[in-house]
A and B are shown apart, each in its own frame.
Chain A
Amino acid sequence: MAMRKIAVVLAATGLGLAACGQSSGGGNGDTIELTITQNAIAGGKNAAAAGFVANWVIPKFEAAQKAKGKDVKVKFVPSGVDDEQYKTKLSLDLKSGKGADVIDIDGIWAGEFAQAGYIKPLADVVGPEAESWDGWSQIPESVQGLATYEGKKYALPIGTDGRVLYFNKTLFGKAGLPADWQPKSWQEIIDAGTKLKSSGVPVPIQINAGTAMGEATSMQGVLPLLAGAGGQVQQDGKWTGASQALKDALGLYQKIYGGGLGDPKLQQEAKGRDKSFQQFAEGKIGILMEGDYFWRGVVNPKDGVAPMDDRDQNVGYALIPAIEPGKGIRGQDFVSMSGGALRTVNPNSKHPKEAFELLAFTLSPEALKEETKDGNVRITPRTDVNKEILAGQPLLTFISEKVLPLTAYRPPVAVYPQVSVALQEATAAVVGGTAPDQAAADYQKKLEGIVGGAGNIAS
């Protein structure tokens, strides 16, 4: 009996080795099978996007192809986990010559994926039609930059975003601050915080810091401040070390968290960002630096994670000022940071032309309009579409028209995530009481280890 069991097990093992995994490819006849993947899943993370692809894009695209006499079958491969885990899975797939035909990646991964050979220039994978896609003319230069690496287009951008200062108008009213507040320097932010504090607001200012919030600390914290002080993490191929701009940015952290204007504990908790959302919605936070996601997905009265019924009346927003007028990057008065996702054709795709057609279809005006219907509005990459769908969306219009022209992007290179962690650690140190100069010096030391020596750091 036991022998038989062993035999069964061994046979099963053999079978497993021989028979499994003939999952993709292999269409019969001239049916073209395509797969498309996003970090989205019905009933979970980014459910709306998953539903849109499954219920609108796929049937419409298949029908359009059929009308052209082509038999195309498209399958959506959902994911919906942590971005880092999605990235890991995607990397492993792409490395092994697998993965869906059309894939979504975060714009910040473009450089490292390109360096690794996981993604290739669209012109090489697809052909000239990728360069001559009619949508490019509708996409602003800066947004195209998200999908560009070393002068070549690797993907189509599928959207962008921007950061602003949100504030609670009720709390502002009590503190004697204007409802149309627009600070012009960091000092004015501090002044507003001080007034809020004396009027009894528990957390006058929340600017993300520390490692617990991860990339949120960089994007909604140290990077916009760095830009406001005239600095960038990387400029002309050289990394910025313990520059004056970084010291200034860290100095603002010290003023806020050392001066009782922010809650240092909130920066350390593993779920601190969620808490900051909750507290803003409960009227405990006066000023909060966040992206447009905060408006769309957090305080959204309809389906936000911390809904505010009176969002439209009670939540104000302002541009992030430079340390002093004219002292931001490029001599700007105001600054912001932007990111955005990309969609591209897997270099391993058996049908790159059709895959690109599918990709372009998801970014056609009609698809973008459909996707952003029913309160699911976001800033699309296309100006022609944005004009139409952002009407009646004051915040998104504000970001699209006022913020995007002055925004900045992160360097799309493989070591950026580590540099970002080092920056987060610098903010954590300052919140914990280290002097900004010391934290900046420590950052420079770490940076040297990450980017391969002092030679790659601008002096």
Chain B
Amino acid sequence: MAQAISPPEVLDDKAPGRDRYSSDAAGLGRLRAGVFVAPALLLIAAFLVFPALWVLYLGLTNYRLTGAAAAEPRFVGLDNFLDAIANPTFWNSTWLTVQFVLGSAVIGQVVLGFTIAWLLRDRRGPLKRLVEGLVILAWILPSAVVSFLWVALLDRDGGTLNALLGIPGFPWLLDHPMLSIIIFNTWRGTAFSMMLYGAALGNVPPSHLESARLAGASGWQQLRDVVFPHIRGHILTNLLLISLWTFNDFSPFLLTAGGPDGRSEVLAVHVYKVALQSGELGYGAAVSTIILLINLVVAVFYLRLLRSKK
């Protein structure tokens, strides 16, 4: 990770096999480093790793919230996974999740976040603060409140959007549920990408851009040849985190409740419905495990893509 984040020049300096961290600037030493890491690791072990492994185990049982299977859950091996694979609802949800992640995170948040960061890169003053403030506001408002804002925006009868467009009665959430939640999540999450790219662009040496400009490079060429190599590590971090978050994002539920008829039931909403509304915790845990595996594949894909492309 560290290598991917560092500017390429540093990477180039590094002789193969030599560990640049062995110098250990602060003179920390492994022991003290271990002490620094220990408190976090302890908490993570107790409240993250342990329950997460428990979830993985639950996925192998027929455990339920209530009923006979709550009193005496049975080990059922991979039955839940086989059920999921045989279940068209699950595949529908998986496909919708792919659309959701690609549309709202990889395209929506990354493109919009980068665009804002690029537009405002040389600016100071109130306009920059206003734009950034509003984008960040969308990110930090509590989801319970945000869901009401978007229902008010997209409502069929009194919705603000229909009033502005002059098409009263247009059912956005019914006719375009996926588009609605993709745009919603773009609105909601762009701040993170904007801040990350804003910081990344600050690391691009202005002299490099200047010489590219003097050499007659177009805007697109500057981006590709000068900016992109410098911020590749940031793109990687950004894609990893927002994909992961979006995969597990449950907030579309607050807008469409997965509907109409499951047409916006992304996997996180599917798990909520299965685990909380139907009480099928074993099956829900199995689907969570599958989400984890998909996330793993996605992470490896990103790492490959951005590390090799040099």
- Report A-B touching, CB under 8 Å: yes
Interfacial residues of chain B within 67-123, with CB under 8 A of chain A in the complex: 67-71
Q: Is the pair A418, B260 in contact by a Cβ cutoff of 8 Å?
A: no
1/0 per residue B257-276: CB within 8 Å of A?
Answer: 10111100000000000001
List B contacts of A9 (CB < 8 A): 39
**A412–B111 Cα gap in the complex (Å)?**
52
Asked if A317 is at the interface (CB within 8 A of a chain B CB), the reply is no
Interfacial residues of chain B within 13-62, with CB under 8 A of chain A in the complex: 35, 39, 42-43
Interface residues on A, range: 35 or more
Known contacts A115-B68, A116-B67, A265-B171, A418 near B261 by CB under 8 Å:
no
**A268–B256 Cα gap in the complex (Å)?**
9
Asked if A140 is at the interface (CB within 8 A of a chain B CB), the reply is no
Asked if B211 is at the interface (CB within 8 A of a chain A CB), the reply is no
Asked if B178 is at the interface (CB within 8 A of a chain A CB), the reply is no
Asked if B234 is at the interface (CB within 8 A of a chain A CB), the reply is no
Q: Is the pair B66, A414 in contact by a Cβ cutoff of 8 Å?
A: yes
**A265–B173 Cα gap in the complex (Å)?**
10
**A428–B279 Cα gap in the complex (Å)?**
22
Residue of A nearest to B255 (CB): A270
List A contacts of B276 (CB < 8 A): 84-85, 88
**A117–B70 Cα gap in the complex (Å)?**
8
Interfacial residues of chain B within 147-168, with CB under 8 A of chain A in the complex: 151, 156-157
List B contacts of A95 (CB < 8 A): 70
**A16–B173 Cα gap in the complex (Å)?**
45
Asked if A109 is at the interface (CB within 8 A of a chain B CB), the reply is yes
Asked if B143 is at the interface (CB within 8 A of a chain A CB), the reply is no
**A270–B181 Cα gap in the complex (Å)?**
13
Q: Is the pair B277, A428 in contact by a Cβ cutoff of 8 Å?
A: no
Asked if A458 is at the interface (CB within 8 A of a chain B CB), the reply is no
Residue of B nearest to A113 (CB): B66
**A13–B43 Cα gap in the complex (Å)?**
9
Residue of A nearest to B277 (CB): A84
Residue of B nearest to A414 (CB): B67
List B contacts of A418 (CB < 8 A): 278, 280
**A269–B256 Cα gap in the complex (Å)?**
7
Asked if A10 is at the interface (CB within 8 A of a chain B CB), the reply is yes
Q: Is the pair B67, A415 in contact by a Cβ cutoff of 8 Å?
A: yes
**A210–B263 Cα gap in the complex (Å)?**
13
Q: Is the pair B260, A210 in contact by a Cβ cutoff of 8 Å?
A: yes
B274 to chain A, nearest CB (A): 10
List B contacts of A277 (CB < 8 A): none
List A contacts of B173 (CB < 8 A): 269-270
Chain B contributes a number of interface residues (CB within 8 A of A) equal to 30
**A10–B39 Cα gap in the complex (Å)?**
7
Complex partner residue of B257 from A212, A275, A421, A432, CB under 8 angstroms: A212
Interfacial residues of chain A within 4-41, with CB under 8 A of chain B in the complex: 6, 9-10, 13
Residue of A nearest to B147 (CB): A270
Q: Is the pair B66, A115 in contact by a Cβ cutoff of 8 Å?
A: yes
1/0 per residue A267-281: CB within 8 Å of B?
Answer: 011110001000000
**A275–B151 Cα gap in the complex (Å)?**
13
**A265–B226 Cα gap in the complex (Å)?**
51
1/0 per residue A83-104: CB within 8 Å of B?
Answer: 0110110010001000000000
**A269–B264 Cα gap in the complex (Å)?**
12
**A414–B67 Cα gap in the complex (Å)?**
5
Interfacial residues of chain A within 93-131, with CB under 8 A of chain B in the complex: 95, 109, 111-113, 115-118
**A116–B281 Cα gap in the complex (Å)?**
14
Q: Is the pair A268, B68 in contact by a Cβ cutoff of 8 Å?
A: no
Asked if B174 is at the interface (CB within 8 A of a chain A CB), the reply is yes
**A85–B65 Cα gap in the complex (Å)?**
12
1/0 per residue A402-430: CB within 8 Å of B?
Answer: 00000000000111011001000100110
A8 to chain B, nearest CB (A): 11
Residue of B nearest to A215 (CB): B277
List A contacts of B230 (CB < 8 A): none
Asked if B188 is at the interface (CB within 8 A of a chain A CB), the reply is no
Known contacts A84-B277, A211-B262, A116 near B68 by CB under 8 Å:
yes
Residue of B nearest to A17 (CB): B46
Asked if B232 is at the interface (CB within 8 A of a chain A CB), the reply is no
1/0 per residue A142-171: CB within 8 Å of B?
Answer: 000000000000000000000000000000
B150 to chain A, nearest CB (A): 11
B157 to chain A, nearest CB (A): 8
Complex partner residue of B64 from A6, A275, A414, CB under 8 angstroms: A414
Residue of A nearest to B67 (CB): A414
**A6–B39 Cα gap in the complex (Å)?**
7
Residue of B nearest to A268 (CB): B260
Q: Is the pair A115, B65 in contact by a Cβ cutoff of 8 Å?
A: no
**A329–B238 Cα gap in the complex (Å)?**
61
**A432–B277 Cα gap in the complex (Å)?**
24
List B contacts of A271 (CB < 8 A): 151
**A79–B208 Cα gap in the complex (Å)?**
61
List A contacts of B256 (CB < 8 A): 270
A121 to chain B, nearest CB (A): 15
List B contacts of A115 (CB < 8 A): 66-68, 70-71
Residues of A within 8 A of B (CB): 6, 9-10, 13, 84-85, 87-88, 91, 95, 109, 111-113, 115-118, 210-212, 265, 268-271, 275, 413-415, 417-418, 421, 425, 428-429, 432
7 other A-B residue contacts (CB within 8 Å) besides A91-B70, A269-B259, A414-B68? A6-B39, A9-B39, A88-B276, A116-B70, A210-B261, A212-B257, A421-B278
Residue pairs across A and B with Cβ atoms less than 8 A apart, 16 shown, are A9-B39, A84-B276, A88-B276, A95-B70, A115-B68, A116-B67, A118-B70, A212-B259, A268-B261, A269-B171, A269-B173, A270-B256, A270-B259, A275-B157, A414-B64, A418-B280
